[in-house]
Structure 1
Amino acid sequence: MNFIGWIVIGGLLGWIASKVMNTDAQQGIILNVVVGIVGAFLGGLVIAPLLGTGTINDGDFSLGSLGVSFLGAVVLLAIANLVFRGRAR
């Protein structure tokens, strides 16, 4: 169940991040899941140690870990926009 929850929550976080960053039109379901999971990984490396919380990749589905994973997904999309389009939205 943990793997399925990881995919579903990662997809939801990636979708919400793509809505916030206004990139949902270019992304599909698979890319939303990838953005959510990779964003959770990046958030776990950078943001989680600062806040003392886990991420969804750690199997922690608390409010703090969801926030860290969401912020990681938003940062990932901002970096992708900056690299591929030359501007962060």
Structure 2
Amino acid sequence: MGILGWIVLGLIAGAIAKAVMPGKDPGGIIVTMLLGIVGAIIGGFIGRAIFGSDIGSFFDLSTWLLAILGSVVVLAVYHFATSRGHRAHG
């Protein structure tokens, strides 16, 4: 899958991750989309490391699940980092 595929997959996975994650998103839609792209790429690397196989095509279910899982993890870390900083200062 090319870079354009990863970007589209990440945008959609980021939107799904945002729907799954509770609470307000401190960064807005643009940050959520960027985190989705990063999460999709990280999910692909983790999947490759754990399962030892290359990531499938754009229409492969395992590719989507890994991208969504990676996006949820990245979004959760972002929520934790930003909410922790706000509590420490306020």
- State TM-score, norm by structure 2: 0.68
Corresponding residue of 1:46: 46
Q: Aligned partners of 2:4, 2:19: CA distance in 1, in Å?
A: 23
Q: 1:81 to 1:67 in 2, by over 3 A?
A: same
Give the superposition deviation at 1:82.
1.4
Matched residue, 1:76: 74
* Structure 1, gaps ≥5 residues long: none
- Whose RCO is larger (CA < 8 A, sep 6+)? 2
RMSD: 2.5
**TM-score w.r.t. structure 1 length?**
0.69
Taking the aligned partners of 1:24 and 1:9, their CA distance within structure 2 comes to 23
SS in structure 1 opposite 2:42? helix
Q: SS of 1:43's equivalent?
A: helix
Q: What is the alpha-carbon distance in structure 2 between the residues aligned to residue 6 and residue 23 of structure 1? A: 26
Aligned residues: 81
| Structure 2, unaligned runs of 5 or more | 85-90
Q: Does 1:7 align with 2:7?
A: yes
Cα offset for 1:31? 2.5
Identity %: 35
1:32 is the counterpart of 2:32: yes
